Amino acid sequence: MNADISGLLHAGLLVSDLARARHFYETVLGLMPSPARPVLPYPGAWYDLPGGQQLHLMNLPNPDAAAVRPEHGGRDRHIALGVRDLAPLKSRLDASGVGYSVSKSGRAALFCRDPDGNTLEFVEAA
């Protein structure tokens, strides 16, 4: 292991419509925006995650917007987030009409895409 790397601090995702993305991340996923985001030259939002990590939404042009993504998110670039229990998340995704697929490995995990096609994996962690 490389002793110079101390951890993953944040993941940044590109979004085309910040209001739509915030609705998904705040209403469907239940994240709370962080007041720590500095003034930057583009719109965005930061979310604090347990363990000191953050998720950054950046309202910037996506250079890969025309790319065709694999149907199953586990075969696409993605970020993985831990959850205590997948059942409440599945209920919120179902109620919001957000499609998802379960992990092909048999783990207690599911994949969904945000409104911009960014893949999110949720892993049930005890």
Whether residue 2 is contained in a domain is answered as: no
Among 92, 91, 19, 93, CA closest to 57: 19
Whether residue 105 is contained in a domain is answered as: yes
pLDDT digits (tens, 9 = 90+) for 48-61: 999 999 999 999 99
CATH number at residue 100: 3.10.180.10
Query: How far is it, in rounded angstroms, from Cα 47 to Cα 64?
Result: 24
Whether residue 94 is contained in a domain is answered as: yes
Residue-range definition of the domain harbouring residue 113:
10-62+69-124
What's the mean pLDDT when you consider all of the chain? 94
Whether residue 89 is contained in a domain is answered as: yes
Whether residue 28 is contained in a domain is answered as: yes
- The pLDDT profile of the chain, 126 residues, written as one tens digit per residue, is 557 988 889 999 999 999 999 999 999 999 999 999 999 999 999 999 999 999 999 999 998 888 999 998 999 999 999 999 999 999 999 999 999 999 989 999 999 999 999 999 999 987
What predicted TM-score, i.e. pTM, was given to this entire model? 0.92
Whether residue 23 is contained in a domain is answered as: yes
Report how many domains make up the chain.
1
Whether residue 1 is contained in a domain is answered as: no
Whether residue 92 is contained in a domain is answered as: yes
Judge whether 65 and 14 are in contact, CB under 8 Å: no
Which positions ≥6 away from 47 have C-beta within 8 Å?
25, 31, 32, 33, 34, 54, 55, 56, 57
